[in-house]
Amino acid sequence: MQCPVVGFIRRMFAALLACAALTLLVAPCATAQQPLKKITIALGGDGLHISAIHIPIAKGYFREEGLEVELVDVNSGPRQVAAIMGGSALFGPLGLIQVIKANAEGGSLAAAANLFGILDLHVVLSKDAAAKSGITNAMPVDERIRRMKGLRIGITSPGSTTDTMARTLFKARGMDPDQTVQLQPLGGGSNMLAALEKGATDGFVWSAPQPQIAVAKGIGVIVIDPFERIVPEVIDVPYEVMAINMATAKQNEDVIRRSIRALTKGMKFTQEHPDEALKIMQAHFPNFDQEVLSKVWPKYVSGLPKSPVIPKAYFDNTQRWLNVTAKTPVNTKYEEVVKNDVAAQTAKELLGQ
């Protein structure tokens, strides 16, 4: 007869083995079901220049890094700065010029990754405005700009990158922007396009696809195309960077690192599969003319980065451009504004660079 104590020990041992086996089976699932870390990204309007954000979201690269993204469109660069500095957004795709300005004014804003390397800001006029001013694309760019006198030109908001671009056109040619044109704060590209359709503005400064849609609808004419490199002041000036608040970033170092990894995966995918990336952007803009998006997409792929690292030349060119319109010359340092450490490490790990 088996001793009751021995039987009890055997039963307990068997139960422990079963429990251990069950743990091994369940543990991987429990790990996979860890809750995603929610992050907020502040946009200042939408367009193809935000592809570096939309593509990794659509491909699930942020989720691979354990992150769930909420996009909030605040409709202008200055509002993005406020959201990032205030901590309501972890980061935003922001004009490098805005990061330099904020830093020069004592803010703790920094650029952590490259997102778009061309200052993708078209100048679009209504057909009527172009006809009345006599502007044609056969004219030298200086003449086109001089003939814009008296027009109403849409920007996102005062102090934004679109505002700086518009002011540069006139200031660099000896004209006072406030005396030459009426700059209208309209918000993002969709608002600008609607205002042009209604005749509430004579033109606007924005990126694709709204300028090309205005042309396709027969209501607008692109009089300055950034990809033609005809405005000397902004040649080789980039547009978007991943803007972070240094104070917030120190408290979220791992989340920033994972975000840059997701963005870098998106860069790699876009460069290797541009046609598939286009389909993602067409799905993102379902109400826009898909043929228009197809035609402009190759230009935008040329502006999308092959690396998250921000070159020093980008910084130098942008600060030089900023000083065209700055009331007090800005003289910040590259190392103070650009924080490339995580981007460089990520490029090495994921891209072999």
Q: How far apart are CA 334 and CA 311, in angstroms?
A: 10
DSSP bridge pairs for 245: 109
Residues 229 and 291 both lie in one domain: no
**Is residue 13 included in any domain, yes or no?**
no
The owner of tokens 């130098």 is 316
Q: Which helix (H) or strand (E) holds 106?
A: none
Span 13-41, pLDDT tens digits: 444 344 444 443 444 443 346 799 999 99
| Domain hosting residue 242, numbered range | 37-117+237-351
The domain boundary, picked from 204, 234, 264, lies at 234
**Is residue 5 included in any domain, yes or no?**
no
Determine the length of the chain: 353
**Is residue 28 included in any domain, yes or no?**
no
Residues 182 and 279 both lie in one domain: no
Reading the chain (353 residues) residue by residue, the pLDDT tens digits are: 444 434 433 454 444 344 444 443 444 443 346 799 999 999 998 989 999 999 999 999 999 999 999 999 998 888 999 999 999 999 999 999 999 999 999 989 999 999 999 999 999 999 999 999 999 999 999 999 999 999 999 999 998 999 999 999 999 999 999 999 999 999 999 999 999 999 999 999 999 889 999 999 999 999 999 999 999 999 999 999 999 999 988 999 999 999 999 999 999 999 999 999 999 999 999 988 888 899 999 999 999 999 999 999 999 999 999 999 998 999 999 999 999 999 999 999 999 98
Residues 186 and 249 both lie in one domain: no
Name the residue type at position 130: A
Angle at which helices 161-171 and 96-104 cross, to 10°: 90
Find the CATH number of the domain harbouring 149. 3.40.190.10
Q: How far apart are CA 353 and CA 351, in angstroms?
A: 5
Span 130-159, pLDDT tens digits: 999 999 999 999 999 999 999 999 999 998
Question: Using the 8-state DSSP alphabet, how is residue 338 labeled?
Answer: B
The domain boundary, picked from 214, 234, 254, lies at 234
Q: How far apart are CA 79 and CA 85, in angstroms?
A: 10
**Is residue 157 included in any domain, yes or no?**
yes
CB 259 within 8 A of CB 90: yes
Residues 241 and 345 both lie in one domain: yes
pTM score of the predicted model = 0.84
The domain boundary, picked from 234, 260, 280, lies at 234
DSSP bridge pairs for 38: 68
Q: How far is CA 94 from the centre of its chain?
A: 6
